[in-house]
Amino acid sequence: MSISIKDIARLAGVTVGTVSRALNDYSDISEKTKKAILKIVAETGYTPNVSARTLSSKRQTNIALLLSGIAEEKNRDSNVLSLLVGAYKFMNDSDRLIATYPINSRLQQRKTIEQLCAEYSLSGVIIFGLKNTDLYYKNIQSSQIPCVVVDFEIQGARQGSVITNDEQAFADITEYVINQNHRRLILVYGRDASEVTHRRYTGFCAALKKNNLDPATVPVIYTDFQEQVAYDETCSLLREKGRDAGTVFVCMSDYCAFGVLRAIHDCGFSVPEDFSVTGFDGTEFSRFISPQLTTIDQNFVKKGFVAAQLLCTILEKETVPQRIRTVDYTFRKGESVRYLAI
């Protein structure tokens, strides 16, 4: 059994109430006893037990980062790692720990978000990777649980969102390839159950129309955001049409772009000589490959940081004015897009 508040009280010759006051920085305690108590705390290496504290206090706030689909999906992409890092960095600064839990579909089926939070005494959560097929997708919207969702908008009073302006970003990169004189685009589509997919599609269409191109004529490769599917489908297309397939693959994620790149290579073509390729996300890996991928960096580390920050603000303040936070993206020019001479 490890050392408890009682031991400290005994050693300091005071009662547990006084020790608690010293520990929680209450004002109604003499500097002298406080010093003495903290000295003993330091010497013994005593740390208050979080469970006990949670149980007895209303002020204690435990927060968690819930990851949907992480142990289930085929391509759990590395963006989640950057997000973790960002959230951890923010919590670091306030010397607090944030627990990370996976929430697979069975868990979501077995207990509601309210139950999960009650069970683990969570006063708020950050949710990442939620698809509209997740049970928690509706669950959080009809609940009062303070939460911050990454990548889709939520409207509850004590809820917030951290998003990227996907429409604009995807329009930007689409316009970029158009400005490089590409006219025969191939869209490499993400996953219908992910909201970002639809926003990016909107941006894609907007950029085309703005340049007098018709979205309806653009061939689409459906990938479910999986590298392998992107690879397979691209191979089929290339084997069937070769260079006639188009001039540039505009992909909804870096992972998809990797599949496309691999397919182009395996079919005997080159990037960017034969085909150009763009990605979306800004995964670390997109800079490692040759040619480096032209992509949109979502700044996932920052997204994680902002998410943690926003959640903490929501938990602290009564009302938070701006609960939809848009994190700026960065266009990253690589060498995967060729300029087409007219």
Binding positions for a copy of itself, rule: CB under 8 A: 2-3, 45, 47-52, 54-55, 64, 70-71, 75-76, 78, 80-81, 84-85, 88-89, 92, 95, 97-102, 104, 106-107, 110-112, 114-116, 118-121, 227, 255, 258-259, 261-262, 265-266, 284-285, 288-290
Non-local (6+) Cβ contacts of 241 within 8 A are none
User: What's the closest the beta carbon of residue 176 comes to a copy of itself, in angstroms?
Assistant: 23
The Cα–Cα gap between 10 and 101 comes to 38
100 binds, among DNA, a copy of itself, none (CB under 5 to 8 A by kind): a copy of itself
Local structure of 208: helix, strand or coil: helix
SS3 at position 61: coil
Write the CB contacts of 337 (distance below 8 Å, at least 6 apart in sequence): 176, 177, 180, 182, 248, 272, 276, 277, 278, 294
How many Cα atoms sit within 13 Å of 69 on the Cβ side? 21
When CB distances are held under 5 to 8 angstroms depending on the partner's kind, the choice from a copy of itself, DNA, none that residue 57 binds is DNA
**Would you say 27 or 217 has its CB closer to DNA?**
27
The option from a copy of itself, DNA, none interacting with 332 (CB < 5 to 8 A, set by class) reads: none
Q: Which does 18 bind (CB under 5 to 8 A by kind): a copy of itself, DNA, none?
A: DNA
Please state the separation of Cα 152 from the chain's center in Å. Answer: 10
24 binds, among a copy of itself, DNA, none (CB under 5 to 8 A by kind): DNA
Q: Is 28 in the site for DNA (CB under 7 A)?
A: yes
Contact with DNA (CB under 7 A) among 11, 20, 134, 230: 20
Closest CB to DNA among 31 and 273? 31
Q: Which 58-87 positions form the footprint of DNA (CB under 7 A)? A: 58-60
Q: What angle do CA 329, 283, 195 make, to 5 degrees?
A: 60
Residue the block writes with tokens 């390839």: 177
Report how far apart, in Å, the C-alpha atoms of 102 and of each of 129, 150, 168 are.
10, 15, 31
Which spans of this chain sit near DNA (rule: CB under 7 A)? Answer: 1-2, 4-6, 13-21, 23-24, 27-30, 32-34, 46-49, 52-53, 55-60
